[in-house]
Amino acid sequence: MSKTLIMKFGGTSIGTTGGLNQVLGIVMTERENRERLVLVASALDGVTDKLLEAARDASTGNQRSYRRTIATLRQRHFSLVEALHLGTTERSALQADIDRLLFELLDLLQALAQSPEAKPDLAIIDQTIGTGERLSARIMAALLRQNQVRSVAVDATSLIVTDDKFTNATPDLHQTRELVASHLLPMLERGIVPVVTGFIGATPTGKPTTLGRGGSDLTASILGVCAEADEVWIWSAVDGIMTTDPFIMDNARVIPHLSYDEVAELAYFGARILHPRMVEPLREAAIPFRVKNIYSPRQAGTRIDGEVVPPAATNSIKAVTMIPGLSLSADHHGSMAELIQRVDKALQGAIHAPADALIAAQSSNSSFICFPISTAAGSEAIFSARSAVEMQLHQPGNPQWLITSVSIITVIGAPINRWPDVLKALENFPLLGLVQGPSAASLSIIVATVDAEAVQEAIHQLILNTG
């Protein structure tokens, strides 16, 4: 019997009674196969966006709007609880717990509304948007208890210690490992199935933080390392990691196996199914993980581990992704250090993300540089980012830069001997830049946004024809 399994359930998986019943069935099955189970809960689908909206309304003093949002969230969670047919005592206790959390949330929003600061307090924002996971974890734990599984909801603020970079905090593995050993492992030894809130942590002084959008994956990864798990499973509503975004191309297919390097590149370059920072802790601890479909639990999904197939043994291109980016070009050359610092300042302020230059190139009389904009920053991030960079750079006395929204198409698992095939498939498209990833697991192609979907489709067709 395997010992410890960490299972993370996404918001689309647990937002309905059907999804929660699937969770229950999966837990019942895996209890027979594992000595210890830890569940990680995301917020219900769309709840974090609603909480961000409430925080924005509070920061502008729009009390009526944020109160209406909280009332809507209360009704949604209560309706889900009612549909689960819990026992009277369990249901009443759960509803009281939900109300307590929402009253605490209203107090936070009131404090935000009354703050004299021009910019919203990011510490309060983090405390606000982490409420969704606290609600869903309690619902999952109640459902398990109703079905004779010893379970308790655990706020990750008592387990995961982070720095104080609010909205995108980084966990401290050493301190977290100590708390996991003293708080979580004793529960597992007593046969309890804890449901840990994803996405959130706390500073050493106890201030709640969040790990960035999609951070529940990182929660599962960190807990897997600190609990010395055998595996980590990420449950979603798709069959595994796909050759491309299945919501864009209906002929996407499952990739059975990926290396840590390949999946890290996939996550960084836009595979929305995984958080970009979750891979490295598991890689360092040599813990394999899987991505599986909650509605098809018997399917193997995609396994990710340290096994690397030598390039000579395969010619297959595994996947293609697309993310937005900003390109900057100018009719001059010189040091780009100050430019990158200015762009970094703009992006940190607008989308709370650093400026990672994907490619920088110069000739005797021109310069070009491109910055990817992570999908984890949200669908509107590219617009906020471009506006902020334009304001930062278009000031009197600064060198003139042409700022353009572009798309970055990344081919995953492409050995160098397949590059001619990729470029031949794109011979009718103007390419703005090419760059190989440092791990040699990816090739990124910068194209005009208007060409992006057609370029992605052309490469995906190449995958289907030759994979």
Q: What is the DSSP string of 220-252?
A: HHHHHHHTT-SEEEEEESSSSSBSS-TTT-TT-
Most confident of the following: 3-12, 356-365, 433-442: 3-12
CA 23 to chain centre: 20
Provide the sign of the torsion angle of the four alpha carbons 49, 51, 56, 62, taken in this order. positive
72-131 residue pLDDT tens: 999 999 999 999 989 999 999 999 999 999 999 999 999 888 876 767 788 999 999 999
- DSSP lists the bridge partners of residue 40 as 8, 196
- CATH class of the 319-466 domain in this structure: alpha beta
More confidently predicted of 349 and 461: 461
Q: What is the DSSP track for 346-372?
A: HHHHHHS-----SEEEE-SS-EEEEEE
pLDDT score of 312: 46
Residue 164 has a CB neighbour count (10 Å cut-off) of: 15
pLDDT score of 2: 63
More confidently predicted of 71 and 349: 71
Distance CA 196, CA 309 (A): 35
Q: Which uninterrupted H or E stretch holds 28? A: helix 17-33
Helices 63-83 & 88-114 angle (0-180, nearest 10): 170
Give the domain 2-237 fold: Carbamate kinase (3.40.1160)
Strands 433-436, 200-202: pairing is unpaired
289-347 residue pLDDT tens: 999 999 999 999 999 999 876 554 455 789 999 999 999 998 888 888 888 999 999 98
Closest CA to 109 of 44, 51, 167: 51
pTM exceeding the 0.85 threshold for the entire prediction: yes
Question: Where in the chain are the domains?
Answer: 2-237, 319-466
How many CA atoms, within 13 angstroms, populate the side-chain half-sphere of residue 59? 16
Distance CA 382, CA 318 (A): 27
More confidently predicted of 308 and 239: 239
Q: Do domains 2-237 and 319-466 have the same CATH topology?
A: no
Distance CA 406, CA 173 (A): 36
393-430 residue pLDDT tens: 887 767 789 999 999 999 998 667 778 889 999 999 99
